[in-house]
Amino acid sequence: MTDAPIPLFEAWFGVSVPPHWDLHAWLMFAIWIVFIPAVVALTRFGKPPPSVSGITKGSPMFSRKLLWFTVHRVGLFVLTAASLVGGLIAVAAAGGVGNTLHGVFGIGTLILGVLQIVSARWRGSHGGRDPVQGTSDPVFTRGDHYDMSPRRRWFEACHKTVGYFAMVSAIGAVATGLSWITSIAITLGLVVVFWVVIAVVLEAIGFRHDTYLSNFGTGAHHPFNKARIDRLSGGGAD
């Protein structure tokens, strides 16, 4: 990689800005190996335990019941946007993507990350218990998530799968760009081991909860709960 000033910055702003590849490496490492996995871990293991009532509509964004989703939505948007800016600056500094593995993994990571943000718009409606229409005889509104419609099933399948592939691609990007920064190489190994241990421990002690049960409750009358009970018991829909 060249240390020559970034031509784009000189053309646009009339200033000579060196690329600072070490800062680029640490920034992308922090985003994709530290912060985004932390958000994913909170999303996977930070949901509230399933209850009868689930997560009440209108719950505060930073309450125990919704913190995991707030951080997931806001955190991933901000982190992906920051990595996109950092990646585009790196492409401008390098004069293009090139044909290196680091470039391929890097661009692949950015594309997958942007797809995650875009795909969030396809999640459909939520539905669930309507807290406005009484408490003694609760009313449940239809919704893609509450009904687990085909749209919602496809969204979850794509969103989760693409998200995990984005992190795998990010590890590839970091690993293929480490020939010149030994400290990041050592830190990468330690952090990956750390996340593996965290995931195993939290899974083993029961912190991973079913998203549908956490959201809507444990009642057998909820559409997706009923469908799963019918499937497990060999029954069918009424």
Q: Is the dihedral of CA 204, 209, 210, 211 positive or negative?
A: negative
pLDDT at residue 98, as a whole number = 67
pLDDT at residue 177, as a whole number = 79
What residues contact residue 93 under an 8 Å CB cut-off, 6+ apart?
1, 2, 6, 19, 21, 24
Let me know: does 106 contact 87? Beta carbons within 8 Å: yes
How far apart are the C-alpha atoms of 206 and 198, rounded to whole Å? Answer: 12
Tokens standing for residue 202: 């939290």
pLDDT at residue 53, as a whole number = 86
pLDDT at residue 211, as a whole number = 96
How far apart are the C-alpha atoms of 146 and 224, rounded to whole Å? Answer: 7
What residues contact residue 57 under an 8 Å CB cut-off, 6+ apart?
128, 129, 130, 131
pLDDT at residue 89, as a whole number = 77
Count Cα atoms within 13 angstroms, Cβ side, for 89. Answer: 19
Tokens standing for residue 183: 């400290």
pLDDT at residue 165, as a whole number = 96
For residue 140, list its beta bridge partners: 129
pLDDT at residue 85, as a whole number = 86
Overall size of the chain counted in residues: 238
Let me know: does 32 contact 80? Beta carbons within 8 Å: no
Closest CA to 209 of 43, 37, 66, 58: 43
Segments in the chain below pLDDT 50? 5-6, 8-9, 11-15, 237-238
Residue 13 sits at φ, ψ, to 5 deg, of -115, -10
Strands (E), 67-220: 128-130, 139-141
How far apart are the C-alpha atoms of 68 and 164, rounded to whole Å? Answer: 18
pLDDT at residue 135, as a whole number = 56
Q: What's this model's pTM, rounded to 2 decimal places?
A: 0.85
